[in-house]
Amino acid sequence: MEQSIHSPRRLAGSQAVPGDKSVSHRSLILNAIAAGDATVTGLSDGADVRSTAACLRAMGVRIEPLAEPGSFHVSGPGANLSEPADMLDAGNSGTSMRLLSGLLAGQDFLSVLTGDGSLRSRPMGRVVQPLQQMGAEIMGRNGNTLAPLAIRGGSLRSIEYEMPVASAQVKSCLMLAGLSAAGPTVLQQPALSRDHTERMMTAMGAQVETDGLTLTLHPTELQAVDVAVPGDISSAAFWMVAGLIHPNARVTITGVGLNPSRAGIIDALQMMGAGDALSLENERVEGGEPVADVVASSGSLHGIDLGGDIIPIMIDELPVLAVAACFAEGDTIIRDAAELRVKESDRIATTVSELTRLGGRLEPRDDGMVIHGVGKLSGAAVESHDDHRIAMAMAVAGLAASGDTVIHGAEDASVSYPTFWEHLAALTGAA
């Protein structure tokens, strides 16, 4: 699908973004193996979360829609799922594949996890290796580093594991395996990543201790809990940047989850000088997570040097931050972000190539990029590279560029944000 964008005279309005993708996956997976039933409200309807739901249903978990849109009743068979009759398809979703592999490592049956072409090219050795150390039998292509993964699960040993990358997916995978291990699982993290699994497992009765970068999980049977999924800050980030870079904008994004392990984008935009043009209203706590309405209006930004511990807590927002940096004054440097190379696309290569087509001046680096603030972009044809966040970041660029921007692969937005184009039309007054 192609989508054509022309900068509107004004960008204004209020939108609620879809439920947080990370919290949505976890609300299904953890409640699937917990004792008792739960109601999840505000679940993401993106393709990624649908993939997780389909995999769980194939193992005997009931996930039934309730009358209220986004609300589901989840009832699993308890800690022991049933052997799936066919391959489990994680689609485009790294979170589904990595979290489910941890869950399946502890299940006494054979399962095979596969996904689309993008997912089958993403590194799985980072979960396979530690799961093998725990005693799971796992095989995959390319020396057990690529999906499909065949998993013969069973009893697991406990491990103490030094994680080579700050990855919430790897951490959560090992925590899921650790729930049924023979003793405590101890993880040493190189930096903090999103902590939704820690929070949800704790709410479900697990003993999770964190001491700086060391996390210890004791094996437990989880108790189901109802989850109210907050709005996805990674989706909200597109409108935050759109509001800041458009010359005549005021956009409100309601009910955005602001868990500190996710909110790096707000800090980064403040470092770029957003000031009062980016503000929080109605700050509250919902379902144990901090939530607020975020208001973004036309601002003026300057370049920054971004690296270190903030990177894992805004990893998915770096493509759209690069869009903001094109409109900023001066250069922005993104370092310590080599993980971008192994996302749904190589986001260093794709962000640089597509923004360059729009007249941006960017240089790729091994672990990030340099973005020269040119203050403007001009419309052109761009590609999503099968990556939802690249499609949406380019749409944001198009909202402030001169001329027409045509996005090829616009349908990819539905991986995390199925109503993205409708919301864009509403905010531009085209709806």
Q: Binding residues for ligand S3P, per CB under 6 A?
A: 22, 25, 95, 167-169, 172, 193-194, 315-316, 339
Query: Is the Cβ of residue 24 or residue 252 nearer to ligand S3P in the bound state?
Result: 24
The distance of closest approach from Cβ of residue 286 to ligand S3P in the complex, given in angstroms and rounded to an integer, is 19
Query: Is the Cβ of residue 188 or residue 248 nearer to ligand S3P in the bound state?
Result: 188
Q: How many CB atoms lie within 10 A of CB 95?
A: 22
Per DSSP, the three-state class of 186 is strand
Query: Is the Cβ of residue 190 or residue 290 nearer to ligand S3P in the bound state?
Result: 190
Whether cis (ω within 30° of 0) applies to the bond prior to 148 is: yes
Residue 274 per-residue DSSP state:
-
Query: Is the Cβ of residue 246 or residue 389 nearer to ligand S3P in the bound state?
Result: 389
The distance of closest approach from Cβ of residue 232 to ligand S3P in the complex, given in angstroms and rounded to an integer, is 10
Q: How far is CA 381 from the centre of its chain?
A: 26
Ramachandran category for residue 396: left, alpha or beta (phi over 0 → left; psi -120 to 50 → alpha)? alpha
Active site residue 316: yes
The distance of closest approach from Cβ of residue 167 to ligand S3P in the complex, given in angstroms and rounded to an integer, is 4
Catalytic residue among 316, 336, 386, 387: 316
Ramachandran category for residue 203: left, alpha or beta (phi over 0 → left; psi -120 to 50 → alpha)? alpha
The distance of closest approach from Cβ of residue 17 to ligand S3P in the complex, given in angstroms and rounded to an integer, is 15
Burial state string for 103-135 with b = 16 or more CB within 10 A and e = fewer than 16: bbbbbeeebbbbbbebbbebbbebbbebbeebb
How is the beta sheet containing 404-408 ordered, strand by strand? 2-6, 404-408, 381-383
Query: Whole-angstrom Cα distance, residue 150 to residue 138?
Result: 6
Query: Is the Cβ of residue 40 or residue 400 nearer to ligand S3P in the bound state?
Result: 40
The distance of closest approach from Cβ of residue 430 to ligand S3P in the complex, given in angstroms and rounded to an integer, is 29
Query: Whole-angstrom Cα distance, residue 385 to residue 212?
Result: 37
Query: Whole-angstrom Cα distance, residue 378 to residue 393?
Result: 15
* Residue nearest ligand S3P by beta-carbon distance: 22
Residue 85 per-residue DSSP state:
S
The candidate with the shortest Cα–Cα distance to 29, out of 104, 126, 139, 120, is: 104
Q: Which are the catalytic amino acids?
A: 316
